Structure 1
């Protein structure tokens, strides 16, 4: 009796979950579809849906010519890859130390790392700007990337993953003559691969789309990123051309969208294995 009584409730809950998932998908897809429609039609059709409207790629060409997108793409790619590489190295070493070594002040130091997770990055803008200015790095890629080289989030995730590594594997590697760094590279890092992939996705997405900090510390085309470069389209005195803005926005977000569509299964599996929600 209890089994039959619970079945309708389960079905109703499953149905509600499905509806909620579709609603969330529509909330994400509709703005993207609107941007695509606007980008591939002349500007006069931007505010209305006319199925007889002619298709055009002129908006993409005009957007590319209106700003040095090649330079922006290069700057953003160098920045994202550089930040991720430094974060991986520093976070791996820090997490390894917190997980497997006993040293004075370890718990206090890790508590400070956890506290950093609760601090909004925008609260540190003024102090970070003063530091970058004192170092003479204003208007450079170093200015954008330096405050993000150390990641408390990555340290926390990797520490949790490293603490779950069986000690038997570590002892076996030590008996074969492996030193601390060799054990880290051969035992800990391979077993934490899902965590590395999951954090890499978070880091790349965040820094590819980061706007406020790059806007504050850059002044020239040579060091601007894609998101900062987009503002040139919203400061045209004769009015805003939504068709060109949509085309520029799509070009900016295209690498992330294509990467997600191609590797969405690997993305989801990495987050599930890493325990990130």
Structure 2
């Protein structure tokens, strides 16, 4: 390799490493705090490695004093159901916008783009009033309803399907495939990287969502992980930071594991602009 190219590559990697350290620093500090004694969290001086390991006590306290596993179970149910509903609605809509010719297609796509600009807080009040009117507050249904249709998913899959060769679809139609069979048997398998990428975005967003569960949930039985951490914080009166960080580590770990499992597909889904 030429010396100037080697220097550029080294500088680029150095910048990436520094950026990664800034991103990872809060998580590393969370892990280190979760194994400290409560009185050692605010000691004077900078000592990243604790003098005394207190992780067993902190993690045991976090699991025994608050039903974190129940909160995580609620998060799994809500995130999985939301993702399934989003895929059920978004994949057919994206295929129609990408590969079917109908008069209102430009208008529908414009509405999808417009939907991307509407923040969640704008629709929160009418949805809340509707749920209150039918007596469905403090239920899993209330936690899932606003997110069952994702315009971002429609846009993402539409862009992916747009690059799929029309010749393959035409050949499938000549073979007698219906549009639904083309979607299920041809388009969806080819869109696995895009589905994996969207799944990471969706699960991360709704697992970490505090705003909507705080609005529609009133009992700990339906609390999601962030809301459960608020309940745990109130029980701890904000003093036992070691146990609090242990609880935060417990509810963060599934996201990290899920991303590591789907990392390759996630990167492909983000970077691919077509099929080979």
The normalised TM-score by structure 1 is: 0.89
Q: Provide the residue aligned with 1:123 in structure 2.
A: 122
Q: Quick one: distance in 1 between partners of 2:260 and 2:35? A: 21
Contact 2:194/2:268, CA 8 A, preserved across alignment: no
CA distance in 2, matches of 1:158, 1:57: 45
How many angstroms apart in 1 are the aligned matches of 2:193 and 2:36? 42
Q: Is the Cα–Cα contact under 8 Å of residues 128 and 147 in structure 1 kept in the other structure?
A: yes
Asked if 1:270 corresponds to 2:265, the answer is no
1:199-255 residue CA offsets vs partner (Å, 9 max, x unmatched): 111111111111111111000122111110100233247542111110010011110
Name the structure 2 match of 1:32.
Answer: 27
Evaluate the alpha carbon distance shift between residue 252 and residue 51 of structure 1 in structure 2; reply closer, same or farther with a 3 A threshold. closer
C-alpha displacement of 1:71 = 1.8
Alignment of 1:171 with 2:166, yes or no, is no
Equivalent residue of 1:165, what SS? coil
How many residue pairs align between the two structures? Answer: 269
SS of residue paired to 1:119: coil
Distance across 2 between alignment mates of 1:18 and 1:80: 35
State the Cα distance separating 1:181 from its structure 2 match.
Answer: 0.8
Offset, 1:105 = 2.3
- Residue 77 of structure 1: aligned partner: 76
Structure 1 outlier segments of 4+, above 4 Å = 10-13, 236-239
Q: 1:264 to 1:189 in 2, by over 3 A?
A: closer
Residue 158 of structure 2: aligned partner: 159
User: Do the aligned residues in 2 keep the contact of 1:139 with 1:223 (CA within 8 Å)?
Assistant: yes
Distance in 1 (CA, whole Å) between partners of 2:236 and 2:169 is 65
Alpha-carbon separation, structure 2, partners of 1:227 and 1:172: 49
- Given that 2:68 and 2:225 are in contact with CA atoms closer than 8 Å, whether structure 1 keeps it comes out as yes
CA distance in 2, matches of 1:110, 1:264: 30
Residues 136 and 234 of structure 1: is their aligned pair in 2 closer, same or farther, counting only changes over 3 Å? same
Unmatched tracts of structure 2, length 5 or more: none
TM-score by length of 2: 0.89
Deviation by residue 1:55-105 (Cα, 9 ceiling, x = unmatched): 431111111122122221221111111000010010011112212223342
Contact (CA 8 Å) 2:192, 2:265: kept in 1 or not?
Answer: no
RMSD: 2.1
- CA deviation string 1:161-218 (max 9, x = no partner): 2222212211221222211111111221122221111111111111111111111100
**Offset of residue 29 of structure 1:** 1.7
